[in-house]
Amino acid sequence: MKCYQCGTCTADCTSANVNDGFNPRRMMLEYLEEGKLSELCWLCASCFKCYRCPKNVKPYEVMAEMRAEYIKMGKVPAYVKAFVETVKDYGELDETAFFIKLAKAGMIMDVSVILSTVRKRGVKAFALPKKSGCAKEVSKIFAVIERSFKDSLRDESRDEEGVKRPLVSGVPA
Amino acid sequence: MKLAFFPGCSAKSSAEYAISALQLMKKLGIDVFCSDFNCCGTHIVEEYNRDIWLALNARNLSIAEEEGADIVTICPACYQNLKKAAILLEDESVRRNVNGVLASVGRKYEGGVSVYHVLEIVKEFAGEISVNSNLRVAAYYGCQILRPPEIGIDNAENPSIFEDFLKKVGFKLVKFKAKSDCCGGTLLLSNPEGFKSRSKSILDEAKKSGADCVATLCPLCQFSLEIVQNGIEVLPFTSLIVQNL
Ligand code: SF4
Ligand code: SF4
């Protein structure tokens, strides 16, 4: 395997710094050697500090791969689902719509975050959700790709292992 | 050069940054306009469905292309997503597939649109900007403007593009050890305590360095540092300039 367990990634890692259990070196070993996913991947800060890996393993990409695996299995954290659905419906991350979706999923924002938003934006912090001009086109793009994804599960565009081939990008996630 | 302005979703909570960036570019005589862009998707949509992520970014690129413009954004995350997509879309077969989807919304992307962060644009005009200020500034890069190195706008290990620019326009810069550390803003929802301790350590370091204020170039960094404020002023770099002209 490419990773030789030097620990450079862990030493530089933002998330390891604020969460004792978060150890990219160990996560690389377990995933790349044994294919073992770790829920901790959701706590990666996407800071790319681990680019210094002397073996160019790119732990930040491996973290993203693990998250994509979870999503494929349908194990999607509430905030990810709320984010994607907000973009799909509104064309952009309408904050009010996002916060409402989060609250519906039982996730309440940290009080200091809410206070800071209110302090900055005044009454506008309570603005009603508003679809941006591009919302229709964006929803359409989601629908077109999601439909062809469903089709691909039925027809021959499924490859030998039964995994969906990328429909558009030609580059696996 | 004609530029389409891409504020990005988090610019709404840092409206000051978007407004001042536009003001500064207009003042410098740059031909910049706003358009009907959608969210870049961020890594969240990319991990949810990479095809959708690519098509969303292709839509944005196609809008700039239609106007004969390149894209300028204030947000390092949008910069990174648009740029990554633009690189992928230089491949003709990828573009053909994506155009199959874009056709459903009446659009098409031919390729060749460049993506810039606003710092890359205004730094070319440094000689035309002169501020009247004695502020000692800590220039804060954060993460995504520098890393990963193949996308970043300067040397990830030892960047100087931001300080060099602010110095040229007339600010005094302090040596800021935390300049490319992470504010933890992306942990806002998943680990709020972790996020606060990261942001706080950035501001504590800025205080130690003797700075009067912190200049940011990322809306999420700006938002995060404001939440944990410790008395030191935090400003988007374009506001800092416009306020001191
Ligand atoms: S990208 Fe994730 S794994 Fe890599 S250093 Fe940052 S927080 Fe750690
Ligand atoms: S991923 Fe790279 S930096 Fe991390 S332990 Fe393995 S070889 Fe070292």
Q: Which helix (H) or strand (E) holds A65?
A: helix A59-72
pLDDT at A163: 39
Q: Residue A169: pLDDT above 50?
A: no
Q: Which residues of B touch A133 (CB under 8 A)?
A: 36
Which 21-40 residues of chain A touch chain B by CB within 8 A?
none
Q: What is the mean pLDDT of residues B35-48?
A: 95
Look at domain B2-120 and name its CATH class. Answer: mainly alpha
Residue A57 CB less than 6 A away from ligand 2:
yes
Measured from the alpha carbon of residue A7, the closest ligand is: 2
| A124 confidence band (pLDDT: 50, 70, 90) | low
More confident residue, B220 or A124: B220
pLDDT above 70 as % of chain B: 99
Q: Are A30 and A85 in contact (CB under 8 A)?
A: no
Backbone angle region of A7, left / alpha / beta, with phi > 0 → left and psi within -120 to 50 → alpha: left
Distance from C-alpha of B167 to C-alpha of B137, rounded to nearest angstrom: 9
pLDDT for position B77: 96
Shortest distance, CA A118 to any CA of chain B (angstroms):
10
Which pLDDT tens digit goes with each residue over A72-108? 999 989 999 999 999 999 999 988 889 889 888 887 7
- Whole-number pLDDT of residue B11: 74
Q: Which sequence spans correspond to the domains of chain B? A: 2-120, 129-243
Q: Which of residues 132-171 of A touch B (CB under 8 A)?
A: 132-134, 137-138, 140-142, 144-146, 149, 166-171
Distances from the Cα of A100 to the Cαs of A78, A94, A164, B138, B228, in angstroms? 12, 10, 33, 36, 24
pLDDT at A149 (0 to 100): 66
Burial class (CB in 10 A: 0-12, 13-18, 19+), B68: exposed
Asked if B50's CB is within 8 angstroms of A173's CB, the reply is yes
pTM of the model: 0.92
Q: What is the mean pLDDT of residues A28-32?
A: 96
Planar angle of CA A26, B186, A8, nearest 5 degrees: 30
**Torsion of the alpha carbons at A91, A92, A93 and A96, rounded to the nearest 10:** -70
CB contact under 8 A, A134 and B38: yes
Q: Residue A25: CB within 6 Å of ligand 1? A: no
- For residue A171, name the pLDDT band (cuts at 50, 70, 90): very low
With a cut of 60, say whether residue A165 has pLDDT above it: no
Instruction: Report whether residue A13 contacts ligand 1, using a CB cutoff of 6 Å.
Output: yes
What is the pLDDT of chain B when averaged over all its residues?
95
Per-residue model confidence as pLDDT tens digits over A3-23: 999 999 999 999 999 998 999
Atom of ligand 1 nearest to the CA of B143: 6
Top mutation candidate among A28, A49, A50, A60 for ligand 2, by most atoms within 8 Å of CB: A28
Model confidence pLDDT, tens digit, residues A126-164: 677 778 889 999 999 999 998 876 655 444 444 444 334
| Banded pLDDT at A121 (limits 50, 70, 90) | low
Please choose, from the candidates A150, A135, A160, the residue with its C-alpha nearest in 3D space to the C-alpha of residue B38: A135
Q: Is it the case that residue A167 has pLDDT exceeding 60?
A: no
Q: Do domains B2-120 and B129-243 have the same CATH topology?
A: no
CATH topology for the B129-243 domain: Rossmann fold (3.40.50)
B158 pLDDT exceeds 70? yes
Residue range B17-42: average pLDDT? 96
A35 min Cα distance to partner chain B (Å):
18
**For residue B184, is pLDDT > 60?**
yes
Residues of B in contact with A117 (CB under 8 A): 13
Question: B202 vs A1, which has greater pLDDT?
Answer: B202
Q: Which ipTM was obtained for this model?
A: 0.93
- Three-class SS of residue A164? strand
